[in-house]
Amino acid sequence: MHGSRAANNALLDALLSQLGREPGAECAVCPPFPYLEQVSARLRGTPIALGAQTASEHGEGAYTGEVSAAMLKEFGCRYVIVGHSERRQIYGETDAQVAAKFCAAQGAGLVPILCVGETLEEREAGRTEEVVARQLDAVLNKTKFEKAVLAYEPVWAIGTGRNASPEQAQAVHGFLRERLSAEVRILYGGSVKPQNAAAIFAMPDVDGGLIGGASLVAKDFIEIVRAAK
């Protein structure tokens, strides 16, 4: 929940000046709902795609404050994040609700970016694979994982300054890869910075990043995108 019209324009000016012709890697930005129209207009005709941070599992109805996947599609979104750790932890989204959001996004023609990941307590208890498998299976039990992206975001490495080592990230990505078709892209999201991006992206099953705080600093985000080439 960051941004303003002025701040957005400054950030987009920098991104488009450096990545607007040939980013070198597929790239999308996911602003808060009120700024979708502004960002959509700025990105039109560029190789940078638009996404949203979440969507309702419902198509329409008496759900005050919610935003449907079809509404996002109408604003030019290609992607939508579902099941981000903050949505699960702060707002209590369950595996079943996240799976329903995933299906709603697919049904509206959006590419869902499904987030899975364990807390520090779960990792220290040796439950990492159990947790991410449960979160992924909630979706696989409802629909096929196609025209979708998976993002592994260890909760203990988000906004803490800590990050999984490239080898730790690879271990979980490799486990997830075994459960999905080879063409599914698996992103890593957990305090990715310019200093560690290249080493993380060099892992065989890490296909890119889901970038949080560093995406708000144009120089850092551009360096991370370039590291993903």
Catalytic residue among 57, 93, 118, 153: 153
> Rounded to an integer, what distance in angstroms lies between the CA atom of residue 82 and that of residue 86?
10
Q: Give the model confidence (pLDDT) of 29-67 as tens digits.
A: 999 999 999 999 999 999 999 999 999 999 999 999 999
Catalytic residue among 84, 93, 118, 173: 84
The pLDDT of residue 161: 63
User: Which residue matches tokens 């607007």?
Assistant: 20
> Rounded to an integer, what distance in angstroms lies between the CA atom of residue 18 and that of residue 220?
12
The pLDDT of residue 159: 66
DSSP the chain: ----HHHHHHHHHHHHHHHSS--SS-EEE---GGGHHHHHHHHTTSSEEEEES---SSSSSS-TT---HHHHHHTT--EEEES-HHHHHHS---HHHHHHHHHHHHHTT-EEEEEE---HHHHHTT-HHHHHHHHHHHHHTTS---S-EEEE--GGGSSSS----HHHHHHHHHHHHTTS-TT-EEEE-SS--HHHHHHHHTSTT--EE---GGGGSHHHHHHHHHHT-
Q: Across all residues in the chain, what is the average pLDDT?
A: 95
pTM equals 0.96
Q: Please state which of the ranges 88-97, 112-121, 150-159, 205-214 shows the lowest mean pLDDT.
A: 150-159
Compute CA distances 55 → 38, 74, 114, 198, whole Å. Answer: 19, 13, 12, 31
Q: Give the model confidence (pLDDT) of 182-205 as tens digits.
A: 999 999 998 899 999 999 999 999
Rounded mean pLDDT, 204-219: 96
pLDDT tier at 21, thresholds 50, 70, 90: confident
pLDDT tier at 81, thresholds 50, 70, 90: very high
Whether pLDDT at 218 is above 80: yes
Task: Decide if 146 is catalytic.
Answer: no
Q: Give the model confidence (pLDDT) of 94-149 as tens digits.
A: 999 999 999 999 999 999 999 999 999 999 999 999 999 999 999 999 999 999 99
> Rounded to an integer, what distance in angstroms lies between the CA atom of residue 1 and that of residue 5?
13
The pLDDT of residue 28: 97
Task: Decide if 118 is catalytic.
Answer: no
